[in-house]
Structure 1
Amino acid sequence: MKLLSLWWPILSLAVLSLFSLASCKKSTDVTPTVTSAVTDHEVNAWILSNMQNYYYWNDKIPAKPDTTLVPNKFFSSLLNTYNATTNADGDRFSWIQESAESLKASLSGQSKTTGMEYKLVYRDNTRTSIIASVIYVLAGSPAAKAGIKRGDIISQVNGQTLILSNYQDLLSGTSDTYTYGFASVSNTGSLVDNNQTKQVTAVVFQEDPVLLDTTYTIGGKTVGYVIYNQFIPGVYTTDGTSDKTYDLKLDNIFGKFKQKGVNELVVDLRYNRGGYVSSAVNLASLIGKNTNESKVFYSQKWNAIVTAANDKKYSAGWNTQSFVTKATNIGANLNRVFVLTTGSTASASELIINGLRPFMTVTTIGTTTVGKNVGSITIADPSGRIKWGMQPITFKSANALGFTDYASGFAPSVEVKEPVVAMKAFGDLAEPMLSEAIFQITGTRNARRAASVELDQPVIGSSLDRKAGGGSMFINDKLQKVQY
């Protein structure tokens, strides 16, 4: 039996465990019946039990962890912590949140936000002042309604200049209303504050992960281009259902690509830090050449407890995910696909690169990806008594050829650095990363490849870092229904 016939997509993510292991007890045995406040000891016991069962490195959990710690510190104390020198195969990506509901919402693209994302860069050689360079703005969001756009440079918030000691508080303050002040690039290339201000109030907002889709006809080629920022099946709901809004939107986009005879494809994942496996399967199945339900997209390696239980319970192949048949697949017209990447490209995005490579040429353009070859599940208390939610790493992925060793990220086939300032609008053929992809496709440059417009300072962070888990998501949402 195949994975899809055994597992069901869980969008509410309100489950206590992944598989109905022999050690599972009835819900009446594990669900507290008292109404007293939940203690840290009770939360920690819940954390430890689930981590011992499902954590990929459960054999490295301390034998006697300190249960007196507060829950978030207790969770951290259980992790097989990554160290570049002494533990390069360690855990960089597990996390826990005090609110499981907030965790579930953020994984499905819903959060309180102004609707813009930005990079943080030192303004000059003194490395005291900081700017926030807007990388994109969500359509219909408060930032979009205020007229903020990609390439804008924020130098002040609420009348205060952003500096090393205050930028975090100013950009992520307790108030939901922000007055942004802006800077411009002068004729000499320096940044100069201007008198422009814009006020924006953050709201709970559902992000559409498809930022742009379009086609170009250049040099006899019909090029499809789509910017996809998070692997989200549909609009977040709390009742465990989904209308598959965004998966269906991608289906329709590729349907248009097919009608227009697209024979070259550029998928822009430069800001996509991951998301749901089901949406990665959906996208890969729209692109893959000569793929169908008999072809493996990726496989999973779990810990010994999960593996033994499921080897016994299910037939061979329980830990593999095949492509699915899509009527709007354009693979027959493609020999290759171009993927735009940065240091914010992670997890399910890297799964697309790795999973498609056995079937077609995947050319990456940009900078090296994060290197997240592991995935996670969401664990929350179905009774609702314990409010915490955690996202521990539970498996490692490999493609159809068994390749899994990309923990250091995928280096670009063609390196192109995205500018920090003076950024072109998305879809503009002069935008450096898209321009390079078009050159690789047609052999003709629509814009001169100039040196990247950069401040002579490193990027020190990004608003993308505040997204669920610090930005590296690869979530298995094909979960066995728990039986107690």
Structure 2
Amino acid sequence: MRNQHAVAIPAFGFRQSTLMLAFLLGVTTLLSGCKKEPEVVEPEDTATAENLTVNEWILENMQDLYFWNDKIPANPDKTLAPDKFFDSILYKYDASSRPDGDRFSWIEESAEDLQASLSGETTTTGMEYTLYLRATGSDEVIAQVLYVLPGSPAEQAGLKRGDIISRVNGQTLNRSNYASLLFSGTTFRFGLASVSGNTLVDTDVTRSVTATVFQENPVFLDSVYTVGGKTIGYLVYNQFVPGPNGSSTATYDAQLDAIFGEFKTKGVNELVLDLRYNPGGYTSSSANLASLIGRGVSSSSVYFREQWNSTITPYLRQEYGDSFFVQNFLTKSQNIGGNLSRVYVLTTDYTASASELIINGLRPYMSVITIGTTTYGKNVGSITISDETGKIKWGMQPIVFKSFNSAGQSDYAAGFTPSFEVEEPLSLLPLGDTREAMLNEAIYRITGSSPSGRRATAGVNANPLSSLGSSLQRKASWGRMIKPLKTLNL
């Protein structure tokens, strides 16, 4: 960012640009901008010319904003394809030589598609699943459905949580073909298997589904249970998104407000927050949810703070003051914190970023008890950078800051270890069913008794299959928190 525009420019200077910041803690900020015209070059071909233009834009933004900007190579090869160039300048994580390195920055060819997906709008069948090896030593793969979105093509086709897909379009899934069969195309014929004990048996049942452009509502399920004299509120929330793509109305945040208003009216005095499949999202929505839960919090209470690189920090402080680096809670009339001494959070290794921000941000104010498995581990933030002129179509998501709660804590790069470990079994019950493993354990911890009479403690009835990952890792919000702040004229 190099040319003066509407602000006093510090010594190192910035290009003329408008930065729409939406920070990802994981934290994703919307950042349009940074537009210095690259040097005129005479390349040998059109492709090289386009690469040089895009890569110059990438480099200048990264030199200003990247958290590890002092580690960018001095003379990177700008003739590379933009995705390879971006990758070449990252300060990459290495367990032995760079344990503090970058695991999260990324780039996409279409900033427009990226923005839509960050708001929950994608071409999808409407279900998420975990991939497993079918058996020890096997090359075959199965996909177990974790949840199905209401109104989606998958729901209309009759798919549901717990269904096991072993074949796609007549082909048995294996290590070599599962990615192309599951993640390519839009028309699928899923062949299902059933569980007999811990053995999978193929059936003749099939479900035909055509993926469509679909807007996901992240507010998946809410319930209130009265057990052992306790009134327990339960919320399944799958992505931190304020509203539908392209909408200026925070529809989903308002939906959460209404749910907590009902919780308050019904006298909820225990809360189970189910973030097991929530990979992140906007920090504004994270702050909104935390503000509905936190005990004794208000707009004067710190939710989290940010540490940026030494290049841009003085400029941001000069222009916007120290408050730029602080996200406070909100004062919410629907807050139920006065009735809570603790909150239970259900977690897996797909619980990431903005979800982990909830855990870390609430800990200074109340007891946060986690149930499930260790979370993903992301305490750094990124921003989505796009070119406001429209000449460059790429969008990139570099890490730009590290987050800390009000007590100065940011020690969860390896994830939050659960207070009580519970693994999801191979046979899945519906979310919200009080017999379901994680919810059942939370109710037991709250009341001292189990609604089902049985508990899924660590290792008991655990899924014996080896995981290969999940479709959740393909969501644009994976490992990100998007916090829209303000427009910066730089």
TM-score by length of 1: 0.91
Answer yes or no: is 1:143 the counterpart of 2:137: no
Within the candidate set 296, 305, 308, 2:302 is matched to 296
Q: CA deviation at 1:454?
A: 4.2
SS at match of 1:192: strand
Give a deviation string over 1:430-463, Cα, whole Å, max 9, x none: 1010001001110111120245444533111111
**What fraction of aligned residue pairs are identical, expressed as a percent?**
56
Listed as ranges, the gaps of 5+ residues in structure 2 are 1-18, 41-45
- State the partner residue of 1:459: 467
Answer yes or no: is 1:73 the counterpart of 2:78: no
What is the distance in 1 between the residues matched to 2:392 and 2:462?
Answer: 47
Answer yes or no: is 1:340 the counterpart of 2:340: no
Counterpart residue identity of residue 419, structure 2: S
Within the candidate set 414, 424, 429, 1:424 is matched to 429
Q: Is the 8 A contact 1:375 1:476 kept in 2?
A: no
Are the structure 2 counterparts of residues 195 and 31 from structure 1 closer, same or farther at C-alpha, using a change threshold of 3 Å?
farther
SS at match of 1:346: coil
Listed as ranges, the gaps of 5+ residues in structure 1 are 1-5, 18-23
Q: Is the 8 A contact 2:31 2:383 kept in 1?
A: no
Alignment length, in residue pairs? 459
- State the partner residue of 2:13: none
Q: Is the 8 A contact 1:133 1:153 kept in 2?
A: yes
Q: Is the 8 A contact 2:31 2:386 kept in 1?
A: yes
What is the distance in 2 between the residues matched to 1:307 and 1:9?
Answer: 16
Q: CA deviation at 1:12?
A: 10
- State the partner residue of 1:13: 30
Give a deviation string over 1:172-213, Cα, whole Å, max 9, x none: 12x210000000012x43111000001000001101101100
Q: Is the 8 A contact 2:29 2:382 kept in 1?
A: no
Answer yes or no: is 1:477 the counterpart of 2:484: yes
- State the partner residue of 1:168: 179
Q: CA deviation at 1:124?
A: 1.2
Give a deviation string over 1:40-95, Cα, whole Å, max 9, x none: 11000000010011101101101111112110010011111011222111111111
Answer yes or no: is 1:179 the counterpart of 2:189: yes
Deviates more, 1:452-461 or 1:279-288: 452-461
- State the partner residue of 1:105: 116
Q: Is the 8 A contact 1:155 1:182 kept in 2?
A: yes
What is the distance in 2 between the residues matched to 1:156 and 1:316?
Answer: 55
What is the distance in 1 between the residues matched to 2:160 and 2:55?
Answer: 44
What is the distance in 1 between the residues matched to 2:21 and 2:199?
Answer: 55
Q: CA deviation at 1:294?
A: 1.1
- State the partner residue of 2:376: 370
What is the distance in 2 between the residues matched to 1:9 and 1:167?
Answer: 35
Once the two structures are superposed, the pairs formed by residues 44-55 of structure 1 within 5 Å of their partners are 44-55=55-66
Answer yes or no: is 1:227 the counterpart of 2:236: yes
SS at match of 1:48: helix
What is the distance in 2 between the residues matched to 1:64 and 1:158?
Answer: 48
Within the candidate set 68, 91, 97, 1:86 is matched to 97
Within the candidate set 199, 203, 217, 2:212 is matched to 203
- State the partner residue of 1:134: 145
What is the distance in 2 between the residues matched to 1:454 and 1:402?
Answer: 36
Q: Is the 8 A contact 1:122 1:131 kept in 2?
A: yes
Q: Is the 8 A contact 2:429 2:435 kept in 1?
A: yes
Are the structure 2 counterparts of residues 354 and 14 from structure 1 closer, same or farther at C-alpha, using a change threshold of 3 Å?
closer
What is the distance in 1 between the residues matched to 2:204 and 2:460?
Answer: 27
Counterpart residue identity of residue 128, structure 1: D
Q: CA deviation at 1:483?
A: 2.2
Once the two structures are superposed, the pairs formed by residues 410-421 of structure 1 within 5 Å of their partners are 410-419=416-425, 421=426
- State the partner residue of 2:221: 212
Once the two structures are superposed, the pairs formed by residues 270-281 of structure 1 within 5 Å of their partners are 270-281=276-287
What is the distance in 1 between the residues matched to 2:335 and 2:206?
Answer: 46
Are the structure 2 counterparts of residues 265 and 31 from structure 1 closer, same or farther at C-alpha, using a change threshold of 3 Å?
farther
Q: CA deviation at 1:7?
A: 9.0
SS at match of 1:64: coil
SS at match of 1:39: helix
Are the structure 2 counterparts of residues 9 and 388 from structure 1 closer, same or farther at C-alpha, using a change threshold of 3 Å?
closer
Q: Is the 8 A contact 2:20 2:29 kept in 1?
A: no
What is the distance in 1 between the residues matched to 2:319 and 2:418?
Answer: 41
Give a deviation string over 1:249-293, Cα, whole Å, max 9, x none: 100010110110000000000011111010000000000100011
Counterpart residue identity of residue 75, structure 2: K
SS at match of 1:183: strand
Q: Is the 8 A contact 1:280 1:349 kept in 2?
A: yes
- State the partner residue of 1:349: 355
Are the structure 2 counterparts of residues 152 and 449 from structure 1 closer, same or farther at C-alpha, using a change threshold of 3 Å?
same
Counterpart residue identity of residue 374, structure 2: T
Give a deviation string over 1:130-152, Cα, whole Å, max 9, x none: 10000000000000000100000
